[in-house]
Structure 1
Amino acid sequence: MSNRLKPLPHAVWQAQQARIVLSAAKRLDWRRWPLSRQVDYLFSLYGPLPVIQAQLGENSALAQFYEHCIHEQQAAHRNQCARLLRSLATKRTELLWRPEVASALAVVARWLPQRCRELADWQPRSRNPFRQLESLVRHLFDQYGDVPAWVINSWTAGRLHDGLNIAELTVHLGRGGALRTFRGLPGPLSRKVEHHLRLAPAGYPFLYALRYAQLAARDQLAWLGPVLDSRLSRYLGRDDEFWLRVVDFFAAAPMVDPYQLGPVCDWIHQKRTVGVNGEPAQPGFSLKGRSMNGVLTQTAQWHRQLTQASHRTPEASLTLGSTWEPMPIPDFSGGGKCSVRITQLRTYGDLLDEGRTLRHCVASYLDSCRRGRSAIFSLTLNDTRTVTLEVQANRTIVQARGLFNRRPNDEESAWIQRWAADNCLLIPKHLLGWCEA
């Protein structure tokens, strides 16, 4: 009798409510309703997110709009979202049918008071929902029609917090503001870099666009592929000018493989932050007075030491069996006569074995794996390791390297593309071939 009076844990109560609501939702087919009625129904809902998701369908458009426009939002934001969605429901738009754009439309609603044109005057001119979103953003916030394409593309690609606040940047530029005066930039821009930043390719995230502009300003766009293939495409710090001088060092050297830039940058980073060969870190390390042959030789020596250090560990508590939380990306197996596997490496010993076999420095990514910033995958053909892949937390494949840091061949690239497509992973254009300037 006492168990009947015992209060239920909150999670159990939510699960019970979700089951009750789900059974009721089976009798309520809101998907057949007109859009205006769906929006009214959406803003009549109230309750915990799991209960609402059970009622609407976890991955349905309406459930996504509830999560981003209503759940735990302030009244002012909910009212702006209601105004936006009710207006869109009266137009011939595909936006309200697509769960992928729910978060972007919630941001549009948040910035609606800063619009330069009235929402009622917008009409979609395409059946493609992502082009409709681009059109809507330009109509509301781009007064002069000159907001860079890569900024607008970030709305449709879900990169609204890509190193800076894309929505705020859109409003700033849409009012005629200069890029270099935007307060959210990670560092100052020269007029020349600003000019080229406006011309960066449409599909680039902010950091790629910035690297494009910096290299264009230095007349070094031929180095864009190697730069985007290195750590310079993943990190932006206070010593950014130093790393650009590393690119200058490579560009001035005759007959050097451009894709040695990535391994050299890894060696320099290790030398400046951790130390090499038992030496203390050298934060002021530079390439001044050094030769390219000397730098490549020391980089190669460091790589060999990493692959030969299976009996040594960076810290006392770390063993070869030490593991970490894997990234939620499935492994892959396939192929006909040729067995193909892409497997996530989950232990420190796995990283060392991979680096020893392919003669590169993947073992240096131990800390990134443990912190969840990156995951390392190994592509094997007929049980032979051929390519190492780095996938970042934003589900982008940022590195693909074979023996001695070679590029993937056509067969390996095809399997990487298939695996990426199966798991909705992004492959930058430069990764499997030279990047077009």
Structure 2
Amino acid sequence: MTVSLPAVADRSSGPVSATAASITSEAGVILHSTRILSGLSWTARRIRNLNLRAHLRMMGCARAARRTLATSEAFAFFVRLCETVESRSRIFTELHPNLLQAVPALFRMAAYKTRAIREPDTWQSDHADAAITQWQSLVSHLFEKWPVPSAFANAWFTVGPVLHIERDWFCHLAGGGSLRRLPGMPPLTASAAHEVRSAPVHLTAREALRWAQLRTMKTPEALTKTVLDSRIADDFANDGIWLPLIEKFIAGTHVDPAEFDIVTDGFRLLINESGTSRARELLRQPLLDLVRHWRKRWCQFLEHAVPPDLEGDDLDIHSRRLRTRIVSSLHTTWPSMHGVSPWTSSPGFHCRKQRCWSIMELCSQRQLLEEGRMMRHCVILYGRSCRKGWWNLFRMRQCAGGEDESKVEFDKSTSWTIRVDPDCREIVE
């Protein structure tokens, strides 16, 4: 059956006058966005404007993900936003999604429908303005009672859940909230809050906050760029570690800022594995000692956990990609031997002493690394063989009956590492 539909307005040549409150324009034609978001068929090749065509494809994806929005009213708000932008601006026709992810941003705005202070229908753009200026005007019209720093307006382009903390910050500031009291953030100093307003436009909200902190600390430009490019740029949960570390690098003018990335990645690995207590102890060391320590540790990790598909020329610990691969390799696991589970003996099993024996298979690169560190041998080198199923390694320990093994002081004389052939299940070493 062929369904006859009204003609579609050709948006390739410019904006069309329309009333966004209805699904049809004043000329009686359906807008492209209305057709797609209503689930009607459309033919992409008939859209001559390639920018518009790309945005319309993204609308189709947004319609498929409409259940992500909490209510049907929120999706209806998204439809009205798209109709308004298509009919009253040049955003869709002049800005490709590679330059402005307008449709995903409008979808996220719909999730914050209850925070909007004005309706899309009442927005009118100045056709003489540039398309990006029209976008900024739309965002301001919808949400802002008070001006918001430009970097925070980038929150609508932040990838993640539709309800996101950076978008919460934008709405907080747009409603007149204090920049020094952002939800979920430690209070900012007055000087940092002042600096945020002059943050570069291309930064995200979190990066702008970090940039403001660095400005108040009078951080050199080279170090500022290194920090903003690092993985701690948006990690404020561990500022008790990062801020003192940054101060060390500011004072240590003789240290290359490029070492900052190696040191912070090392601290991140340490914090993820054992919390901040060990990191705080290590932070007391002089900067040069810290740099030497983490260089040595990354070289050790590289020796013991080098990813098998990397060539020799790529093995430079200053490469962030390599460090990422090393961390991933350190968390590599493999299946345990079939039919095997940890075993603990009863007290008195060995001789007449009230001692317990425990045997546990080592099934991760991290476990091999820790075992090798305690036993002072090269058990870590068996990691690749274990991953390929050539060997299985077991740890055998002796402790007093009834005691938690994890709380017993390590004694090499009562600990063994056993290598087993998985085919014949015989102890090899």
Aligned residue type for 1:65: M
Per-residue CA distance 1:266-301 (angstroms, 9 max, x = gap): 3334455559xxxxx93443332x333323333333
CA distance in 2, matches of 1:124, 1:262: 46
Per-residue CA distance 1:391-429 (angstroms, 9 max, x = gap): xxxxxxxxxxxxxxxxxxxxxxxxxxxxxxxxxxxxxxx
Aligned residue type for 1:170: F
The equivalences for 1:68-217 within 5 A come to 68-69=62-63, 71-73=65-67, 74-95=71-92, 100-119=101-120, 120-126=122-128, 128-144=130-146, 146-155=147-156, 157=157, 159=159, 164-183=164-183, 185-217=184-216
CA distance in 2, matches of 1:65, 1:191: 42
From 295, 308, 312, the equivalent of 1:349 is: 308
Q: Secondary structure at the match of 2:104?
A: helix
CA gap 1:240/1:32 in 2 versus in 1, 3 angstroms: same
CA distance in 2, matches of 1:89, 1:269: 45
CA distance in 1, matches of 2:89, 2:280: 59
Indicate if the aligned counterparts of 1:154 and 1:160 stay in contact, CA closer than 8 A: no
Q: Structure 1 residue 160: deviation in Å? A: 7.3
TM-score (norm 2): 0.57
Q: Secondary structure at the match of 1:349?
A: coil
CA distance in 1, matches of 2:326, 2:145: 45
CA distance in 2, matches of 1:236, 1:180: 17
Q: Which residue of 2 aligns with 1:393?
A: none
CA distance in 1, matches of 2:271, 2:84: 55
Indicate if the aligned counterparts of 2:118 and 2:142 stay in contact, CA closer than 8 A: yes
CA gap 1:211/1:87 in 2 versus in 1, 3 angstroms: closer
CA distance in 1, matches of 2:219, 2:316: 34
The equivalences for 1:248-259 within 5 A come to 248-259=247-258
CA distance in 1, matches of 2:81, 2:321: 48
Indicate if the aligned counterparts of 2:82 and 2:103 stay in contact, CA closer than 8 A: no
CA distance in 2, matches of 1:104, 1:123: 18
Indicate if the aligned counterparts of 1:80 and 1:109 stay in contact, CA closer than 8 A: yes
Indicate if the aligned counterparts of 1:150 and 1:203 stay in contact, CA closer than 8 A: yes
Indicate if the aligned counterparts of 2:241 and 2:280 stay in contact, CA closer than 8 A: no
CA distance in 2, matches of 1:359, 1:282: 24
Q: Does 1:365 align with 2:324?
A: yes
Q: Structure 1 residue 237: deviation in Å? A: 5.1
From 58, 61, 65, the equivalent of 1:67 is: 61
Aligned residue type for 2:72: A
Q: Secondary structure at the match of 1:81?
A: helix
Indicate if the aligned counterparts of 2:89 and 2:134 stay in contact, CA closer than 8 A: no
CA distance in 2, matches of 1:107, 1:209: 21
CA gap 1:154/1:256 in 2 versus in 1, 3 angstroms: same
Unaligned runs of 5+ in 1: 1-19, 276-280, 314-319, 321-347, 373-437
Per-residue CA distance 1:225-259 (angstroms, 9 max, x = gap): 221243322x5153222111011112122422222
Q: Structure 1 residue 362: deviation in Å? A: 5.4
CA gap 1:300/1:137 in 2 versus in 1, 3 angstroms: same
Indicate if the aligned counterparts of 2:299 and 2:317 stay in contact, CA closer than 8 A: no
Per-residue CA distance 1:6-60 (angstroms, 9 max, x = gap): xxxxxxxxxxxxxx99xx99x99957479641244335426xxxx9899999964
Q: Which residue of 1 aligns with 2:296?
A: 301
Q: Which residue of 2 aligns with 1:413?
A: none
CA distance in 2, matches of 1:138, 1:111: 14
Aligned-residue RMSD, C-alpha: 4.2
Largest Rg, 1 or 2: 2
CA distance in 1, matches of 2:36, 2:272: 52
Indicate if the aligned counterparts of 1:226 and 1:259 stay in contact, CA closer than 8 A: yes
CA gap 1:62/1:87 in 2 versus in 1, 3 angstroms: same
Q: Does 1:282 align with 2:273?
A: no
CA distance in 2, matches of 1:371, 1:42: 47
CA gap 1:69/1:171 in 2 versus in 1, 3 angstroms: farther
Q: Structure 1 residue 177: deviation in Å? A: 0.9
Indicate if the aligned counterparts of 1:200 and 1:209 stay in contact, CA closer than 8 A: yes
Aligned residue type for 1:111: Y
Indicate if the aligned counterparts of 1:154 and 1:205 stay in contact, CA closer than 8 A: yes
Indicate if the aligned counterparts of 1:163 and 1:206 stay in contact, CA closer than 8 A: no
Aligned residue type for 2:297: W
Q: Which residue of 2 aligns with 1:402?
A: none
Q: Structure 1 residue 359: deviation in Å? A: 6.9
Indicate if the aligned counterparts of 2:169 and 2:182 stay in contact, CA closer than 8 A: yes
The equivalences for 1:220-299 within 5 A come to 220-222=219-221, 223-233=223-233, 236=235, 238-274=237-273, 282-288=278-284, 290-299=285-294
Per-residue CA distance 1:373-394 (angstroms, 9 max, x = gap): xxxxxxxxxxxxxxxxxxxxxx
Task: Give me the identity figure in percent.
Answer: 20
CA distance in 2, matches of 1:369, 1:129: 43
Indicate if the aligned counterparts of 1:352 and 1:362 stay in contact, CA closer than 8 A: no
Q: Which residue of 2 aligns with 1:408?
A: none
Q: Secondary structure at the match of 1:181?
A: coil
CA gap 1:153/1:350 in 2 versus in 1, 3 angstroms: same
